[in-house]
Amino acid sequence: MTSPLVKAKSEAEIYINTVFEQMKKKYYHQTEFLQAVEEIFISLVPVFEQHPEYIKHNILSRIVEPDRIISFRVTWLDDQNNVQVNRGYRVQFNNVVGPYKGGLRFHPSVNESIMKFLAFEQIFKNSLTGLPIGGAKGGADFDPKGKSDEEIMRFCQAFMTELYRYIGPDVDVPAGDIGVGGREIGYLFGQYKRICAAHEAGVLTGKKPGYGGSLVRTEATGYGLVYFVEEMLHDHKQSFLDKTVVVSGSGNVAIYAIEKAQHFGAKVVACSDSSGYIYDPDGIDLNILKEIKEVKRDRIRTYIDYRPNASYTEGCSGIWSIPCEIALPCATQNEIDGDAARTLISNGVKVVAEGANMPSNLEAINEFLNNGILFGPAKAANAGGVATSALEMAQNSSRTYWSFSEVDEKLHNIMKSIYLECKNAASTYGFEGNLVVGSNIAGFVKVANGMISEGVY
């Protein structure tokens, strides 16, 4: 992709360039947000060239400004009865397609820029699912590492005591993300119920099955990612069978991506956490990994205590130097830069697909696309999680439960149709095989048309 944001020529390029320059001036300090906006804007040039009505309605200036940003203090008591204070956020970015929808992240790095980039991407991802969900994201600069279960509970209760007034099954439906899984959703849901005195199951997704949670939601992002890659591979007459795979992270997305990739016959040889990575030449033993990460909540380095042939390396970026045919970044944003991309390519990677949100920076994406690597962008490849959240909302509002296989089949079909939609959008606009352009265009067009239909506000 060449950046038309450098030298604008056509009316569409001038418009896009002007809006982006205004953004840069206004939000110069929000680097992650600007990065996410730039990637989308570059892809939209051909759409704006064919649809001047989007310029007339000034869609871009409107779509980059969140409907609202809610920011609040979260005050809670630690186990020593000390008063602790964090900052909480909910960015309700766009509800043109449906109620605001998107996860909550609890991580010390959380700030307004990260919240905005995630919520902005969520608009287009959610639109791609074909389900009626708008875009949002939230979280807090709270570090769950080393906290007791009771501290996690008190933090979640304090967080919900502020957030509850802004959410609801038809208003805004949060879910999990980094640092927020079934345990945290349970505590958040309990507090919402306590305050509102109502069992509004559809107010949060990612609940455990038994009180409104959907089967497959835990597995959905990782499984969905692998279903998406399976489509990319099929289209090139290949499969997962016997492929060597490297997955970064060892959280919710990574674990279930590893599970499904192994199920399809791949050999997953490495994964990581924020301290370092493990390499297991015999293939990762998922039972051990789940015990370490899901049960003990321990560090990945302890994996080598159980597997004598495995090794551990401190620091996480080195994971991309392990030779593989398929790389699945499933940890966090900007974990693959230009150098890491070039290393992967020179070691023979054939497919890169993003389980995390924005794990590859723009330089890395360009390296992959320019070198003929099959590249599955996050908005499309990791949409299975939020799609299954929307299936959870559907089950909650119809007061029913679907079986594991029923939800899994729906997820599989959604991932297939997202792939087709991105592929078709790319070729319609002359970018055959470029799923970055395809996903951005397909996600954008539905939202932009909705904005025009719903009038100026």
Ligand X SMILES: NC(=O)C1=CN([C@@H]2O[C@H](COP(=O)(O)OP(=O)(O)OC[C@H]3O[C@@H](n4cnc5c(N)ncnc54)[C@H](OP(=O)(O)O)[C@@H]3O)[C@@H](O)[C@H]2O)C=CC1
Ligand Y SMILES: O=C(O)CCC(=O)C(=O)O
Binding mask 275-314 for ligand X (x = CB under 6 A): x---------------------------------------
What, of ligand X, ligand Y, none, does residue 66 touch, CB below 5 to 8 Å by kind?
none
- Residue in 43, 157, 332, 360 binding ligand X, rule: CB under 6 A: 332
Counting contacts by CB under 6 A, is residue 175 touching ligand Y? Answer: yes
Q: At what angle do helices 362-370 and 31-50 cross, to 10 degrees?
A: 50
- Chain centroid to Cα 355, Å, comes to 7
Is 30 annotated as a binding-site member?
A: no
Q: Which is nearer to ligand Y, 101 or 267 (CB)?
A: 101
> Residue 287, Cβ neighbours under 10 Å: how many?
9
Counting contacts by CB under 6 A, is residue 357 touching ligand Y? Answer: yes
Closest by Cα among 175, 185, 180, 99 to 137: 175
Query: Which tokens sit at 455?
Result: 């009038």
Least separation in angstroms between CB 363 and ligand X: 18
Counting contacts by CB under 6 A, is residue 389 touching ligand Y? Answer: yes
Owner of token pair 């300090």: 29
Is 252 annotated as a binding-site member?
A: yes
Least separation in angstroms between CB 336 and ligand X: 11
Is 366 annotated as a binding-site member?
A: no
Q: Which is nearer to ligand X, 2 or 287 (CB)?
A: 287
Least separation in angstroms between CB 383 and ligand X: 8
Counting contacts by CB under 6 A, is residue 392 touching ligand X? Answer: no
Sequence length of the chain is: 457
Query: Which tokens sit at 409?
Result: 């089949």
Counting contacts by CB under 6 A, is residue 179 touching ligand X? Answer: yes
Q: Which is nearer to ligand X, 178 or 352 (CB)?
A: 178
Instruction: Report how far residue 359's alpha carbon sits from residue 340's, in angstroms, rounded to the nearest whole number.
Output: 11
- Chain centroid to Cα 25, Å, comes to 27
Q: Which residues from 24-53 bind ligand X, rule CB under 6 A?
A: none
Known active-site residue 137 = yes
Residue nearest to ligand Y (CB): 103
- Residue in 123, 253, 381, 393 binding ligand X, rule: CB under 6 A: 253
- Chain centroid to Cα 301, Å, comes to 25
Counting contacts by CB under 6 A, is residue 386 touching ligand Y? Answer: yes
Least separation in angstroms between CB 229 and ligand X: 15
Counting contacts by CB under 6 A, is residue 218 touching ligand X? Answer: no
Binding mask 82-111 for ligand Y (x = CB under 6 A): -------------------xxx--------
Q: Which of 137, 147, 260, 267 is catalytic?
A: 137
Instruction: Report how far residue 429's alpha carbon sits from residue 280's, in angstroms, rounded to the nearest whole number.
Output: 43
Least separation in angstroms between CB 338 and ligand X: 18
What, of ligand X, ligand Y, none, does residue 37 touch, CB below 5 to 8 Å by kind?
none
Rg of the chain over all Cα atoms, to the nearest angstrom:
21
Counting contacts by CB under 6 A, is residue 186 touching ligand Y? Answer: no
Is 24 annotated as a binding-site member?
A: no
Counting contacts by CB under 6 A, is residue 382 touching ligand X? Answer: yes
- The alpha-helical segments, DSSP class H, found in 148-294 are 149-163, 182-196, 217-235, 252-263, 286-290
User: What are phi and psi for residue 113, nearest 5 degrees?
Assistant: -65, -45
Binding mask 99-128 for ligand X (x = CB under 6 A): ----x-------------------------
Report whether 368 contacts 320 (CB < 8 A): no
Q: Which is nearer to ligand X, 253 or 270 (CB)?
A: 253
- Residue in 94, 191, 250, 262 binding ligand X, rule: CB under 6 A: 250
Strand-pair category, 326-329 with 351-353 = parallel
SS3 of 245, please? strand
What, of ligand Y, ligand X, none, does residue 252 touch, CB below 5 to 8 Å by kind?
ligand X
Counting contacts by CB under 6 A, is residue 273 touching ligand X? Answer: yes
Is 389 annotated as a binding-site member?
A: yes
Residues near 81 by beta carbon (within 8 Å), at least 6 away in sequence: none
Least separation in angstroms between CB 223 and ligand X: 11
Sequence ranges of the binding site: 101, 122, 125, 176, 221, 252, 389
Sequence ranges of the binding site for NAD(+): 221, 252
Instruction: Indicate which residues carry an active-site annotation.
Output: 137
Interface with ligand Y by CB under 6 A: which residues? 101-103, 122, 125, 175, 177, 205, 357, 385-386, 389
Interface with ligand X by CB under 6 A: which residues? 103, 176-179, 221, 249-254, 273-275, 316, 330-332, 355-357, 382, 385
